């Protein structure tokens, strides 16, 4: 039943939705921002704390961290878009402020994976911008300067503002507690699942009465076997390649959210390493929309790039 639901959602979102929607990335970004800002607002009213970590509306702080990671990545992509092509700098200030606030919330959740994923997305963004503007040393210098200033300001804030310092100390303390086993005991579960794996898997009820794999790809291996997980990995790899090819191009004909597909795919992969999110609806909806959108925009970018050269 899960497979049928996923197939229906994939066909509807990757093919049908993209065929009718001409501004998919902007609609997707706005939808994520609005829905997750509502989650954030409701979380303040509930103010649920689990294991001394902020869980918001969720029963598990890691789920709150996962939701905020998706929001942070979209805000990051929006900031980059405005920095590159929009002269009005007011939206940049708003987006940057929201980004740092959301990252602070992630620190409060003490989700190590979420924090690492956001920092990785920032580094990836800087690398892609440097690749895009490799021929423009002045612009690369400006990007490096902005990154340096923001980093210094953020580090200064962490050390001088008590509430920020406390949030950092908590997540650093969690890293130190788990330093002996960074996988938190999950490695043994993964090894057992791999040993017990088959070509077609053990079915959807494999984890009933057992500890969860806490890994999307390992969970797929356990339930559906090597054949299914191989096709899924190839599917994700194809999406990443097309999104990367689109992201690194210097496309001048539009102000689209060029880095968004690649950043969200990297986010999905990193979060999948420690959580089972194959059936987590919001991020799977995003993944399926991007699966159709990335191929379309990759071809569009290449065609327009060739036209510009001609």
292 versus 260: which is more confidently predicted?
A: 260
Write out the chain in H/E/C secondary structure: CHHHHHHHHHHHHHHHHHHHCCCHHHHHHHHHHHHHHHHHHHHHHHCEEECCEEEECCCCHHHHHHHHHHHHHHHHHHHHHHHHHCCCCHHHHHHHHHHHHHHHHHHHHCCHHHHHHHHHHHHHHHHHHHHHCCCCHHHHHHHHHHHHHHHHHHHHHHHHCHHHHHHHHHHHHHHHHCCCCCCCCHHHHHHHHHHCCCCCCCCCCCCCCCCCCCCHHHHHHHHHHHHHHHHHHHHHHHHHHHHHHHHHCCCCCCCCCCCHHHHHHHHHHHHHCCCCCCCCHHHHHHHHHHHHHHHHHHHHHHHHHHHHHC
Query: What does the pLDDT look like over 234-247, one tens digit per residue?
Result: 988 888 888 888 88
Which residues have CB under 8 Å from 31's CB, separation 6+? none
Nearest CA to 249 out of 206, 197, 287, 306 is that of 306
Query: What does the pLDDT look like over 128-164, one tens digit per residue?
Result: 887 877 777 776 677 677 777 777 777 777 667 777 7
Write down the pLDDT at residue 175. 65
Write down the pLDDT at residue 253. 46
pTM of the model as a whole: 0.82
**Predicted confidence (pLDDT) at residue 37 exceeds the cutoff of 60:** yes
Which residues have CB under 8 Å from 290's CB, separation 6+? 28, 239, 243, 261, 264, 265
Query: What does the pLDDT look like over 186-199, one tens digit per residue?
Result: 788 888 888 888 89
């Amino acid at each position: 039943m899960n497979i049928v639901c996923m197939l229906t959602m994939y066909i509807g979102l990757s093919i049908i939705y993209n065929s009718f929607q001409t501004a998919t990335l902007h609609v997707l970004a706005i939808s994520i921002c609005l829905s997750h800002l509502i989650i954030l607002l409701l979380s303040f009213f509930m103010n649920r704390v689990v294991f001394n970590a902020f869980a918001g509306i969720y029963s598990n702080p890691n789920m709150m961290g996962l939701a905020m990671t998706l929001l942070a990545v979209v805000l990051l992509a929006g900031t980059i878009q405005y920095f590159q092509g929009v002269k009005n700098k007011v939206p940049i200030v708003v987006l940057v402020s929201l980004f740092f606030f959301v990252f602070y919330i992630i620190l409060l959740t003490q989700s190590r994976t979420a924090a690492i994923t956001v920092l990785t997305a920032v580094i990836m963004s800087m690398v892609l911008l440097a690749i895009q503007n490799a021929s423009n040393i002045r612009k690369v210098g400006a990007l490096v300067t902005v990154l340096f200033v923001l980093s210094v300001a953020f580090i200064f804030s962490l050390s001088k503002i008590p509430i920020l310092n406390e949030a950092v100390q908590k997540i650093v303390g969690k890293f130190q507690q788990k330093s002996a086993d960074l996988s938190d005991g999950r490695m043994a579960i993964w090894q057992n699942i791999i040993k017990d794996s088959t070509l077609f898997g053990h079915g959807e009820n494999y984890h009933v009465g057992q500890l969860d794999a806490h890994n999307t790809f390992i969970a797929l291996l356990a339930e559906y076997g090597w054949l299914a997980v191989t096709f899924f990995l190839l599917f994700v790899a194809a999406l990443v390649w097309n999104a990367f090819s689109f992201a690194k191009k210097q496309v001048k004909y539009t102000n689209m959210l060029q880095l968004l597909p690649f950043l969200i795919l990297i986010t999905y992969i990193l979060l999948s390493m420690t959580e089972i999110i194959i059936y987590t609806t919001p991020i799977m909806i995003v993944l399926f929309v991007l699966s159709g959108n990335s191929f379309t925009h990759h071809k569009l970018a290449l065609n327009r790039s060739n036209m510009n050269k001609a």
